[in-house]
Amino acid sequence: MSAAPWPLAAERSPRSYRFYDLILGAYVCVVLCANLIGAAKVSTVQVPGWGPVTFMAGVLFFPISYFFGDILTEVYGYARDRRVVWSGFAALTFASLMSMVIVRLPPAEFWRTQQPAVEAMFGNTPRIACGSIVAFWCGSFVNSYVLAKMKLLTRGRWLWTRTIGSTLCGELVDSLLFYAIAFAGRWPTAALISVTLTQYVLKSGWEVLATPATYWIVGFLKRAEQEDYYDRNTDFTPFSLRA
């Protein structure tokens, strides 16, 4: 993609955006749903010409968070995406703590028959909860960092190279950390490797398929927001909320 026709800001000045808050809300919603609902089920489907493929159901929707992360970094820059990642991290941490408390509260007498279902759906072990949070945080920041650096390297051209390239890096970190933290030593090694690889391929493939939509949304936002941020002077520490 060619450089934008409007001047690029040397330093980010305080300003409001029309769509930034909407994307932030959508991002947090996807992260919560994918990790709380998607983690509750492992599915196996028969793929013609391939055979059975086993994956955690959240893989169908979690890559949308990387889709939003790519758009945020490409249009608004690493620092503003960093704030969104921290918002998702805080929401995911609170949701995990809330689930833990609610599952462990003693049920009312008439509710006792429903308690096993609640525990099955929301009673993630501390390892799974920790794996989800750590993997999300690390993978999201890797994704944003790689995209921001590749944008400088490509001088804003070839958008597809950095959206796909950054996703390959971020999803690799995410998949390896999550399955290692959550299931290493609990699942057979062969099954752990198989599911991890399947998750990685599916999540990365999602980004490839979403490339046309990424181009359209990025182009729309750059025109609507009059913004095309390049992280030339950005402090890439993840431990900051400064935008």
Range scoring the smallest mean pLDDT among 9-23, 42-56, 108-122: 9-23
- Which of the four pLDDT bands, split at 50, 70 and 90, describes residue 11? very low
pLDDT value at residue 145: 98
pLDDT value at residue 1: 46
Range scoring the smallest mean pLDDT among 57-61, 68-72, 158-162, 233-237: 57-61
pLDDT over 90, % of the chain? 64
- Determine contact, residues 212/180, Cβ cutoff 8 Å: no
Range scoring the smallest mean pLDDT among 61-70, 85-94, 119-128: 119-128
- Which of the four pLDDT bands, split at 50, 70 and 90, describes residue 9? very low
Domain contains 83: yes
| Position 91 pLDDT exceeds 60 | yes
Domain contains 10: no
Classify the C-alpha dihedral 76-78-79-81 as positive or negative. Answer: positive
Q: Which residues have CB under 8 Å from 2's CB, separation 6+?
A: 156, 157
Amino acid at 90: A
> Which of 88, 166, 103, 165 has the alpha carbon at shortest distance from 134?
88
Say whether 25 sits in a helix, a strand or coil.
helix
| Position 54 pLDDT exceeds 90 | no
Domain contains 5: no
Give the domain extent around 41.
20-225
Domain contains 121: yes
Q: Which residues have CB under 8 Å from 200's CB, separation 6+?
A: 171, 172, 175
Residue with the two structure tokens 């520490």 = 237
What's the structural domain count of the chain? 1
CB count within 10 Å of CB 211 equals 15
d(CA 114, CA 167): 40
Average confidence (pLDDT) over 192-214: 91
- Which of the four pLDDT bands, split at 50, 70 and 90, describes residue 6? low
Domain contains 11: no
Domain contains 204: yes
Domain contains 238: no
pLDDT value at residue 84: 96
Amino acid at 243: A
Compare 121 and 48 and report the one with higher pLDDT: 48
CATH of the domain at 184: 1.10.1760
Q: Which span out of 42-51, 97-106, 119-128, 169-178 was modeled with the highest average pLDDT?
A: 169-178
Domain contains 233: no
- Determine contact, residues 188/47, Cβ cutoff 8 Å: no
Structure-token pair, residue 73: 């970094």
pLDDT in tens, 94-118: 999 998 999 999 999 999 999 998 8
pLDDT value at residue 83: 96
